[in-house]
Structure 1
Amino acid sequence: MRRPVLLLASAIFALAIASGCSSSGSDAVQPPVDTSAPTVARPAMTAERLLGRWGADPDTAQRRGEPWVRFAHDGTLTGSDGCNRVAGRWMLDRDGTTVRSDVRLASYVACPSRPRVLLDRLTFDGADLTYQRERAGPGAMTKSAAPQIVMYLIESGSGSLRPVPIPVEPADASTLRQRAAAGVAALLAAAESGERYSSLWGRMCGLGTGVESVEPPSEGRPVVVRLTGEGGALCDLSRGALVLREQQLAWTVVTNLDVDPGTSVRVLGPRGDRHLSDVVPDAAHLAEGSAGPESP
């Protein structure tokens, strides 16, 4: 009789079909995973940490044929590919490990002996930004350790103030007074709104205004900032916005001037009239993780 053999074959065939149908379920056989070494997550960059200059100072970088890039708070960048000046816009990937840029040349110099540096894709390795070079190996840029001149802008989402580096080299502001004046000038010209930050100065509230001088405090007197224009004295803002605008300027002054953050700031117009009357920086307006200068 052949029936037992047929029944056995049918059972084996049915078992094979059942096994095949379960391969897409939770009982499916998975590929082997190497557990001998733990997976190391790459450190992430943040937009705030990225801001500023990376690479050697521009003069040194030009002599050596090395790149440098300065990332600004408004999403723009400037720098050099080791031969030509470049400009463009930057974007940090969501995972915080790659910076992508639409870099374009801002000068046209022939440098046949220098391999072209590609700055449209930079990778963050935890400390440096790694770039690629045509016909050569990769290179890396370290963030400049030079002191940053900052202005305080309003962080989108939190509505609080955060120090943002401005694109000025230390040589352009070698003294504390010059640094404070440069910070205030940048604040007066800051864009009113942006993707990451906004300002209550900018075009309307800083129109036609410059910085004449910044005078450090002495014998209990406030810092005195002298402006060459109206300084937003006629800017129509709510009471809350006016307070935040005053804090923007006060924090910008005391941080760059490197004085006690409890020092008050007075702003005078071209005729000696007061635009801001002895404003004291208030840490309650700072974004979490931001800090003003240390008290002496």
Structure 2
Amino acid sequence: MAIGIRPASFASETTPLAPDRRASYATTSSSTTSISTASTSTAGSCRRGFRIKPLKYCHARRAAKAAYSALRHDTASHYFKAADDPLVYELREISGLTLNFADAVYRRKALTIGRGDAVIIYGVPGTSNSGPLLPKFSPLLRMTFSDELAERKREFFDMLRPMLESALGPRVHQMLEIQSLSTAPSKQGRGYGTALVQVVNDLADSLGRAVYVVTTDAYRFYEKCGYTLVGEVFIGDGNPAWHGPPAPIRLMLREPKAVAPRAAPESGSRKPCGTRR
């Protein structure tokens, strides 16, 4: 299952979907600290029996290969791959994905199940959308684009940015973003993706913020996770060099849910598992 669209097909694009949130989202030092603490508190958490941990640098390459395999049947990936030499495209995409995962590890915004079998990358208001790796190495990857591939990448962003502005407006800078979600084909059907999305959903609810994600074919999955389709555009329509169907680019949104306060434990009651006495 391949859910997130940005990393695999657009890992070598340095321009974020939303501008750098450090400049666009006004926040105090105390609120930034609370967001940072909340976003890292998921380390080692369990969802449906799965152990969710921060992704490590040593697993970035493995995660990249799994994500590329998961995206092989994605409609948008077909559109981009057809514009380049297949071998060159695969090598560049896996390199770009590795770079993207390593950058997310640096930002502490990548969680995984199974050491890269399933990975989610997310963005949080008040933090940067990229670390120091992407600006340095992404231009080198873009130099290998064919002219047609470069044109199709521009087409994607030219279609996406107006949709973001129209559907979300300025509040996009106050939202969390699922930037990538993928599960290795051999690990699909086990609920890994749902568990990882739920971590981000819970974080967003704790902060009282909405979450958005850009996807292609996986919008039904996000609907099951509580997201609503708020925008849809198509790329490839009218391109004489493309003979397949137009590729959909879909914008999904989830509004925050109220978090029920935890009841105080009764006197003499047992403490939760893992609590030190």
**TM-score normalised according to structure 2 size:** 0.24
Give 1 or 2: higher strand fraction: 1
What is the TM-score with the length of structure 1 in the denominator? 0.23
> Larger Cα Rg: Structure 1 or Structure 2?
1
Q: Which one has more relative contact order, counting CA pairs under 8 Å at least 6 apart?
A: 2
Structure having the larger proportion of residues in helix: 2
